[in-house]
Amino acid sequence: METFYQAMRRQGVTRRSFLKFCSLTATSMGLGSAFVPRIAQALETKPRTPVIWLHGLECTCCTESFIRSAHPLAKDAILSLISLDYDDTIMAAAGHQAEAILEEIMEKHKGEYIVAIEGNPPLNEDGMFCFPGGEPFVEKLKRVSADAKALIAWGSCASWGCVQAAKPNPTRATPVHQVILDKPIIKVPGCPPIPEVMAAVITYMVTFDRIPELDRQGRPKMFYGQRIHDKCYRRPHFDAGQFVETWDDEGARKGYCLYKVGCKGPTTYNACSTVRWNGGVSWPVQSGHGCIGCSEDGFWDKGSFYDRVTSIPQFGIEANADQIGMTVAGGVGAAIAAHAAVSAIKSTVLKKQDLKPLDDSQNKNKENV
């Protein structure tokens, strides 16, 4: 079987360029120079890993993001030239020709290929809400995944459900890990995910032939190990207690922390604050708007993007912890006052009736005093 190196040479890549690529890959994945020969050796000896890219219920923002990766070498060399064998939205082939390629890869590389899923399958009405190539997407997903080595869930759709799974989720859009239960799944959430993160995850997998280390929720630790907040360049303003109070105030002009205008950075695991976007040009907080938490589970249903203390969805009402707490506290306070008043009246009445030794003793006490 053809190795990565052979495939690259076939595409006209010189050995010198190949070694440069190995260095660049090592650097982009945060590995030391000792890894360069290891990557080169892996690419020279391992059979290339084909990647099948499926599109379910989605907006294609993951693909839009991915083709704008700032590391063109990683993206183009590894994926366009070498590994991305099937991607129905961006491949040249179409219709029956495209589907024939899919069948061919699945047969030829049985158990070897990686399936990258963008979007998710809707399960209502037997999956009729997403119907690519004359087949419900859920069927296609199960069929293609059956012989895959591993699955990558691209974006928040595939990872968590995202906007189409937001309440009331009419199509019952379901994240991949709830449909495919018997394969390793790497979640790369974000709406869309950062292109460099996507390229690096897939490069890691095809280069080292193993999945990157994942956290408890199935996300690669190297990009989702910390929150936006942990490495935000505005963090010193948070610790100092300097906040943007309104969008046009002095704090906004000075670049203060956006926490009070609802930044979800403290509750969002992603690499935006370090990798940034558009080739490192900027990212949401840098452009003056708080993080909306797009890589977190169910972020559409977590209340306003502009509150820190947001609605608690489990209550089925638009109320946050403070509103609920203060309302109940008010109610309990009123109840206590009423209860105390009744208690006072009742003990006075009892005293007057002079019924029991309990009150006798009190009366005696009074007389004695």
Would you count residue 219 as binding other proteins (CB under 8 A)? no
Alpha carbon distance 232, 214 (integer Å): 22
Q: Considering only 111-119, 125-133, 209-217, 279-287, which stretch makes contact with other proteins by CB under 8 A?
A: 209-217
Alpha carbon distance 73, 292 (integer Å): 31
* Torsion, CA 185, CA 188, CA 118, CA 46, rounded to 10: -60
Alpha carbon distance 275, 284 (integer Å): 12
Binding mask 158-197 for other proteins (x = CB under 8 A): ----------------------------------------
Residue 256 in 3-state DSSP?
coil
In the bound complex, what is the minimum distance in angstroms from residue 242's beta carbon to other proteins? 5
Alpha carbon distance 34, 12 (integer Å): 26
Instruction: Identify the residue among 120, 268, 270, 273 touching other proteins (CB under 8 A).
Output: 268
In the bound complex, what is the minimum distance in angstroms from residue 328's beta carbon to other proteins? 6
Give the nearer residue to other proteins in terms of CB position, either 33 or 314. Answer: 314
Give the nearer residue to other proteins in terms of CB position, either 87 or 296. Answer: 296
Would you count residue 297 as binding other proteins (CB under 8 A)? yes
DSSP label of 211: P
Contact 161, 175 (CB under 8 A): yes
Would you count residue 223 as binding other proteins (CB under 8 A)? no
Return the closest-CA partner of residue 164 out of 186, 195, 137, 134: 137
3-state secondary structure 99-116: HHHHHHHHHHCCCCCEEE
Give the nearer residue to other proteins in terms of CB position, either 30 or 333. Answer: 333
Which parts of this chain interact with other proteins (CB under 8 A)?
A: 215-217, 221, 225-227, 230, 236-243, 245, 251, 256, 259-260, 264, 266-269, 293, 296-299, 302, 308-310, 312-313, 320-322, 324-326, 328-329, 332-333, 336, 339-340, 342-343, 346-347, 350, 355-358, 361, 364-365, 368
